[in-house]
């Protein structure tokens, strides 16, 4: 066994993890053409350990906390679970901002990541351009699964919510969901943030 492999295996035995050590084996340097010299991610029998468990929450910085809370709570049906004001060294150090004071509302669904609406009293932020445009770079929309997309869309129309289109069916020839088909529609919240609402239904024969 090469010095590289011996050293790497000893590290795994002693510490329970594998780190890629400096290249000392010619087969490794030639591009992993030896199975025993391949790093852990290339070995068929090994699977990477997931560091992330789940998405904990999504944060939206808002201008009008009351209006945004009403939309997500009263229109979309999320539960407001906590309303607090945050300040002090911990959040200033975390964000890299000075003199932070912000009001926060936490909302939840029955089984999903939480939604955190935060309104900074100080320092005031700015709204970047084109946040509401679907192909603007960066984090662009939040997707919510609903039980009955038709009923939700009808409610949103009744309440004057800005919908980008009618409900669209995602072709199963492009994205498969077993024997079901995904339906989606985009809308915007009161401050222009883009949302996706979706459900799964029985796939149609011509989808």
Query: How far apart are alpha carbons 165 and 149 in whole angstroms?
Result: 13
Mean pLDDT taken over the chain: 81
pLDDT for the residue numbered 40 = 53
What is the Cα–Cα distance from 67 to 55, expressed in whole angstroms? 25
DSSP state letter for 44 = T
Q: For residue range 43-98, what is the model confidence (pLDDT) as tens digits?
A: 555 666 778 778 889 999 999 999 999 999 999 999 999 999 999 999 999 999 99
Whether the bond between 112 and the residue before it is cis, its omega within 30 degrees of 0, is: no
205 vs 19, which has greater pLDDT?
Answer: 205
Using CA atoms, how far apart are residues 39 and 196, in angstroms rounded to an integer?
A: 39
What pLDDT is stored for residue 178 in this prediction?
Answer: 87
Q: Is 70 helix (H, G, I), strand (E, B) or coil?
A: helix
Q: What is the CA radius of gyration of the chain?
A: 24
Q: What's the whole-number mean pLDDT along residues 183-195?
A: 94
Asked whether the whole model's pTM tops 0.85, one would answer no
Nearest to 61 by CA among 23, 100, 3: 100
**pLDDT per position as a tens digit, 106-139:** 999 988 789 999 999 999 999 888 888 999 988 8
Q: Which domains does the chain have, with CATH numbers?
A: 3-42 (no CATH), 53-126 (3.10.180.10), 128-207 (3.10.180.10)
Q: What is the pLDDT of residue 202?
A: 84
pLDDT of residue 42: 46
Separation of CA 76 from chain center: 19
């Amino acid at each position: 066994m090469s010095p590289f492999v011996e050293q790497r295996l000893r590290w795994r035995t002693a510490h329970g993890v594998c780190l890629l050590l400096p290249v000392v084996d010619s087969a490794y340097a030639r591009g992993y053409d030896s199975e025993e010299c391949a790093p852990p991610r290339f070995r068929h029998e090994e699977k990477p350990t997931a560091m992330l468990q789940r998405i904990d929450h999504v944060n939206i910085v808002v201008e009008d906390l009351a209006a945004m809370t009403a939309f997500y709570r009263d229109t979309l049906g999320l539960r407001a679970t906590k309303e607090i004001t945050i300040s002090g060294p911990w959040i200033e150090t975390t964000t890299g901002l000075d003199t932070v004071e912000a009001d926060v509302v936490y909302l939840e669904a029955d089984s999903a990541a939480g939604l955190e609406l935060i309104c900074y009293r100080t320092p005031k932020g700015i709204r970047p351009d084109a946040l509401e445009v679907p192909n603007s770079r960066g984090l662009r929309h939040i997707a919510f699964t609903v039980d009955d997309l038709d009923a939700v869309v009808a409610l949103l129309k009744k309440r004057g919510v800005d919908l980008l289109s009618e409900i669209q069916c995602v072709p199963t020839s492009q994205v498969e969901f077993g024997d079901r088909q995904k339906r989606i529609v985009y809308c915007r919240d009161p401050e222009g943030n883009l949302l996706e609402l979706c459900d799964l239904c029985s796939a149609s024969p011509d989808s």
